[in-house]
Amino acid sequence: MSMCRSGFGDDEFTAIVRAAASQGESLARRLCGMGIFEPLYLSFRASTSEASGALRLVRVSDEVPAGWELAQVEPLSISVPFDNYRTWIRERSMRLPVLRTAAVG
């Protein structure tokens, strides 16, 4: 387990990862149904003191949406089974600032 995830926020982080895996699987299934076999990039929207951030998979050929950042340059290969999306995303997002930060003051 990463030092960045020591119990605090684990449920929230798991929910963020689960949502991204579901979104990515839906996108990949839709693309495959159209005969498009394209890797996907992991992107993220950073958290704020008011709200948690988010994770999202985007097509390699698409631009990362405004307000989002590319998490890394290694794409999710089309050969990765849907059942492994959650693990793939979790392993690559452990250090991303997606958990809501506590307001100081």
Is 105 a member of any domain?
A: no
Domain hosting 53: range is 10-93
> Could you give the CA distance from residue 57 to residue 76 in angstroms, rounded to a whole number?
9
Is 77 a member of any domain?
A: yes
Predicted confidence (pLDDT) per residue in 64-100, tens digit: 999 999 998 899 998 899 999 999 999 999 999 998 8
For residue 60, the cross-strand partners are none
Q: How confident is the model at residue 103 (pLDDT cuts 50, 70, 90)?
A: low
Predicted confidence (pLDDT) per residue in 3-56, tens digit: 344 444 679 999 999 999 999 999 999 999 999 999 999 999 999 888 999 999
User: Sign of torsion, CA 74 75 80 82?
Assistant: positive
Is 74 a member of any domain?
A: yes
Q: Domain count of the chain?
A: 1
Is 103 a member of any domain?
A: no
Is 99 a member of any domain?
A: no
